[in-house]
Amino acid sequence: QVQLVESGGGLVQPGGSLRLSCAASGSIFISIYAMGWYRQAPGKQRELVADITSGGSTNYADSVKGRFTISRDNAKKTVYLQMNSLKPEDTAVYYCNVGMYHLSYWGQGTQVTVSS
């Protein structure tokens, strides 16, 4: 009954910006869940990019610190990832996650390609 729908991915040149959005729908009290973004590049394992707790505490991978910002809007049941100063190595499929203890929900993934 819970669905995560991602949007905002696409092709961008190095140095450009994108904003990813992930909207949750269904029977979920979103304010008590942690929310996060993961990515998987070709030939690589899925890795955590950023997450944000129910209290608003954030965590970022070292590779994106200072460039990416995660935020959430509980009223809209949405988590965002603002990506600035994009690099070719940011190219990956980005996945939204919503979780709490043993519960975990995933989005379908959205492609981000950084290339000239």
Torsion of CA 87, 65, 17, 75, to 10 degrees: 150
Whether the pLDDT of residue 27 is over 90: the answer is no
Q: Which residue has the tokens 């905002």?
A: 8
Residue 55 makes CB contacts below 8 A (sequence gap 6+) with none
Q: Using alpha carbons only, how large is the chain's radius of gyration in Å?
A: 13
Name which of 20, 6, 18, 8 is nearest 87 in CA terms: 18
pLDDT at 33: 96
Whether 68 contacts 84, CB under 8 Å: yes
**pLDDT tens-place string over residues 29-86:** 999 999 999 999 999 999 999 999 999 999 999 999 999 999 999 999 999 999 999 9
For residue 55, the model assigns a pLDDT of 95
Output the six-digit token pair for 53.
Answer: 């707790």
**In the predicted model, is pLDDT for residue 110 greater than 90?**
yes
DSSP state at residue 27: S
- pLDDT tens-place string over residues 5-22: 999 999 999 999 999 999
Higher pLDDT, 102 or 40: 40
Token digits for 65?
């610190």
Residues near 3 by beta carbon (within 8 Å), at least 6 away in sequence? 24, 25, 26
Residue 96: the pLDDT is 98
Per-residue pLDDT at 48? 98
3-state helix, strand, coil in the chain (%, to 5): 10, 55, 40
